[in-house]
Chain A
Amino acid sequence: MAKKLDKVEVVTVGVGWTGGIIAAELAKAGYQVLGLERGKETSLDDYNQIKDELKYNPRNEMMNDLSDATLTFRNNFDTEALPIRDNGNLRIGKDTGGGGSHWAAQYHRYFPYDYEIYSKTVERYGKDKIPEGMTIQDWGITYDEIEPYYDKFEKMAGISGEEDPFGPQRSNPYPTPPMKDVPITKMFKKAAKNLGYHPLTLASATLSESYENPDGQRINACQYCAFCYSHGCQFGAKSDPIITVIPTAQETNNFELRTNANVTRILYEDGKAKGVLYTDTRTGEEFEQPADVVVMTSYTFNNVRLLLLSEIGTPYNPKTGEGVIGKNFCDHHVADGASNAVGFFNEKKFNLYMGAGGLGAIFYDLAADNFDHSDVDFIHGGVARITQGGSGAISHNPVPKGTPTWGREFKEKSLFYANRMLNVNFMFAVMPYRDNYLDLDPNYTDRSGDPLIRVTFDFKDQEHNLLKYGRDVCADVMKEMGADIIEPSEDVDHISGSFIFQHSSGGAIMGSSPETSAVNNYSQMWDVDNLFVVGASAFPHFSSANPTGTVGAMAYRAAEGIEEFLKNGGGQLVEAKDAKANT
């Protein structure tokens, strides 16, 4: 029997970026917030042995332990889903800070086109441009409406960047100037310009200079030390919930962080969330935590799994297209299924062992609807970029195709090319389809017997076409950069169940109607007024670039909505619209 605890005003399930933002904003406003975190509490002191590639990369120190629960995966209905067993193939942040601690800190806003993708596509190209089975829909919010929340996130995180001629309109410049230009970003920019593109320095949350945010938290200047992606920042120079929003919440004395607390159910009765049920991961004890407002701030898979396990909302049915929980799952697959071109330079060496997760150059000319798609066999597009994240000695063994993967020749060439291989990558948008979705697995469970989340996902023609288009662009840029050997990526028949970049979305999507979406544009459940589901689980499709900026913006907007909800004593914050209008 679960022990019943005293009620709190707000409980968050997970304390990463979204949980941290909700906690900080509501605690500042005087509400009592409890953050339940499955992992342990982390601080900068935990990062002082961070320059250890084995521990943090192949051994995934900052990623979820899968021994209790994972996801199951299949490409289509006709296959039985099997569990992803190796924790190297499902990398999700595990302690306080979550993915916001180990991220590469590359920063993007999504485009006006993203928010009204259905309407704008139909308006410009007609309905026939959208292939059968593609379930794009408007997000129930416009770019102009969400812009102030991007601004808020950027000021909190101190984002470093420069104005983009192709970028969406900004109300303010970036809080800090862009990162340094380095030899490879200069080469990339020159080559891209020669080809008629408009490159710029990649915006980043590894900061170009020391910055104090509006909450009084200090983020230091990036030291380009290379132990960045998959690692926490020892210098406190990468925006991370544990040095920003979590301490901001804690300083109010209105926030309690409770770690080792694994939430197993949202308690739901008479159309209301009553609180959550959680287990202490150390002792196995069960607790019932009542709350006025429950905020799901876990990762995409867990947000959706807990809704399904708690029987909240109508599960999506891919056969009929009805229901919403689990709908429009997308994964920004950048492991296999990458669109890129690598270049080997026989006469030039680069300091590739140096770098920062957010150090790079990019162009947006081919993203969203920034060019006319009348004559191409896809919608949306991608961003071409080069990054210098700092090549680890273990993970970086580049050899040209045809080289053996071990033995004398491999050793010789991998040593020779270790500092002579560059990669131009095209990150492209991934569209939702009727038969790409999430549900509960019928066969596999966690240790307590609860079903795992099941992922049914594959690329469709749109993604294959975009992959090929992008890699040709990358190869052109690489040629212009002067590489001696250029190898464009190869397409794959089917996407693997390797989720290594924490770029998964959908399953509890945002929209303007309860018939077609799970949450309104404050991330409030249509069906349950006091339940908010925040994060990339709300994206109706995955845009071309990294998700954190948009996740952060949505979290700030959700925080505002929760405050209004608490002030008003409940109710829906948004009036539902007719489902037919924008899907």
Chain B
Amino acid sequence: MVDDKDKNKNVDANQEEDSGRRKFLKNAGVFTGGVVGAGFLGGVIGHNWWDDSDSATETKTSPDFSEARIFFNRREDFNVLSWATERIFPEDDNGPGAILLGVPYFIDKQLAGSWGKNADDYMLGPFKDGEQTQGFQSPLNRGEIFIQGIREINKVSNKKFKASFPELEEDQQNEVLMMFENGEVDLKNVSSTRFFGLLRQATLEGAYADPLYGGNRNMDGWRMKEFPGAQSAYINEIEEEEFIKMDPISLSDYNK
């Protein structure tokens, strides 16, 4: 028996299967594999996934100026990335998937920064293939690995299914990604398994990092996980036997 004690009342917002918001997105083709422009992906975002009001779906009160691409110059690359992250962390009854969480923008920002450039990693040569236990030895930085991997996803899609990755059905998209995961695709100077591992890692980071990085939009990643974010302290709750649900707070709460 699970005993959920609601500490904050506003957590259990509407979680019904077909909220107005989801209907809107479905009609717009976001979840059926239609061709979607990056402008659209940016434009649908901005409200609580569980907010069922019309205003949530059709109007956008304050634009989010941070939702533009830094790293991915080519729109098509960004669309492929977006759908790959959505397959890794799909929208479902629990809540939003990677696209609605802003994960593609999160990854774009991460790749544009020190992580994408491997600034803190040892990148001096010579580069040699080693044993499994010796770790990754690629001369490519993460940004280069992503660009190569993302474009190869599209190539494989076109070859196998005669359509670009964003146009494929969900099962087909999964099939393509599985080929990368299993190391069945040849990439230059890096294995497709390593690329997929990075993609998976970055997707989960984007779903669950503090929203200050551009993902985990509205803290909805945390809400799904019942993770309350950057709470100050738990000294008054740590001994509780029952599970405690709290409305999350983010680091922005410490900067007001």
Contact = CB atoms under 8 A, between A and B. Distances in A.
A405 B87 CA distance: 12
B107 interface: no
A67 B205 CA distance: 23
Secondary structure at chain B's binding surface: helix, strand, loop or mixed? Answer: loop
Contacts of A355: 234, 238
B254 interface: yes
Contacts of B136: 85-86
B227 A181 contact: no
Contacts of A67: 119-123
A443 interface: yes
Interface stretch (A48-56, A105-113, A273-281): A48-56
Contacts of A75: 131, 133
Interface stretch (B23-31, B37-45, B151-159, B239-247): B239-247
Nearest to B200: A406
B217 to A, nearest CB: 14
B254 A49 contact: yes
B84 to A, nearest CB: 10
Contacts of B229: 51
Contacts of B71: none
Contacts of A392: 208
A443 B4 CA distance: 58
Interface string A496-532: 1110000000000000000000000000000000000
A82 B128 contact: yes
Among B174, B229, B230, chain A packs the most CB atoms within 10 A around the CB of B230
A496 B227 contact: no
B177 to A, nearest CB: 8
A60 B120 contact: yes
A355 B1 CA distance: 23
Interface string A442-462: 011101000000000000000
Interface stretch (A26-34, A220-228, A309-317, A549-557): A220-228
Nearest to B231: A225
Contacts of A73: 133-135
Contacts of B204: 394, 397
B239 A182 contact: yes
A494 B131 contact: yes
Contacts of A580: none
Contacts of B89: 406, 411
A320 B62 CA distance: 73
A83 B127 CA distance: 9
Contacts of A183: 239-241
B135 A407 contact: no
Interface string A405-426: 1111001100100110000000
Contact of B221 (A82, A85, A87, A393): A393
Contacts of B135: 73, 82, 84-86, 89, 496-498
Contact of A348 (B2, B174, B222, B251): B2
A44 to B, nearest CB: 15
Contacts of B243: 349-351, 419
A483 to B, nearest CB: 15
B55 interface: no
B77 interface: no
Contacts of B52: none
5 contacts: A73-B134, A81-B134, A347-B1, A351-B240, A355-B234
Interface of B: 1-4, 87-90, 92, 94, 115, 118-124, 126, 128, 130-137, 174, 177, 181, 200-201, 203-205, 208-210, 212-213, 221-222, 224-235, 237-241, 243-244, 251, 254
Given A85-B121, A349-B4, 17 more contacts: A49-B251, A54-B210, A65-B119, A74-B131, A74-B134, A79-B131, A183-B239, A223-B232, A350-B243, A393-B208, A405-B200, A406-B87, A406-B89, A419-B226, A495-B133, A496-B132, A498-B135
